[in-house]
Chain A
Amino acid sequence: MATTLDRSADPATGSGLLRIPHEPSWVRLVGIVGVLAFVGAQAVGVLTSPPDRDMGDLQKIMYVHVPAAWNAFIAFLVVALASIGVLVTNDERADLLAAAAAEVGATLTALTLMLGSIWGRPTWGVWWTWDARLTSTAVLLVIFVGYLTLREYAEEPERRMRWSAAVGIIGALNVPIVYMSVRWWRTLHQIQSSPATVDPHYVIGLRANAIAILLLLVFFIARRYHLSRIENALAQRAERRALFGPEIGEDRHAGA
């Protein structure tokens, strides 16, 4: 009797039904807590600080702008650490984590810049100031976008993994250098630095919002990461189906 190909030895199938990973239950919890925390933190911010003597109520925008900036940098830190993880362990999950963090980080960075611009216009009459923080944030956004664009163009999964990791690490290395060099540039030109945001009145609101947005950051990154893993698993399943037909235990009529 003709034997069929020994599929257990075939790497395309491995053995057993390919599992679709389940999102851990804590992710949803973090998301809910994060939303509540954000609402609460915004309330804290609005209620605990008086209108700024220069900016008025517009100052409240800072409660999103500044924590968003902090968390964008945290997202980038995750990209950098996950990228190191990719090069050390060669595990594609680290790569998916880095990509998820990059997407969320890019969104946060864009949000930071927009809010900063909106804040700046009525305050100083300009849409943009070339101060160190804002400029570094703009550069960070372009680095993120470059990272994500590279991933778009590198089609081979293993190549994409290695390239993204290298670009992520070197990009991360440069962010503090950009910040320092712009600061240096500004001080030499003796430009007025932007108003401090560490007036004690604001600290509570800022911290509360920072934590809330951090929770939301974790939620979005975890969710995005999990979605990538599902996409991955489904693609591999479809590929196996194409090669060998439905597997034992798989519903023959289910969609891929």
Chain B
Amino acid sequence: MDPSRKRTIRLAVLLAAAVLLATALVYTSFSASTEASKPSEIRPGQSYEVTGKVVANSVERRGEELRFRIRDRDGTASVPVVYSGVVPDPFREGREVIVEGELRQGTFVAERDSLVTKCPSKFTTERSS
């Protein structure tokens, strides 16, 4: 085989591998990704991953159960949440959280251990103003 042909083949193989990798990336990432919904968007009968802020003065603990309200990041619509399981260290009122679960009779029933606190504390502590 002459060298230029060899080069073409090599290039084609490389490009094919690259295209394959790219397709795999696009396909798997879009199918695996989870969209976070706002509290105002959730409806009964479907499971959601909800992201929002913990409403001030709403956190209440009853034995194993943690109850709080979660509201839209930039709005006031909120939904009550009932949760059990591990509460992450930085969980606080006013912080952004993600929780998975489903709306039942007006209350968002969260799956066990699904609570994640989002960007809780930046390296620099928040100014308390």
> Do A and B come together as binding partners?
no
B-side residues, CB < 8 A to A, are none
A-side residues, CB < 8 A to B, are none
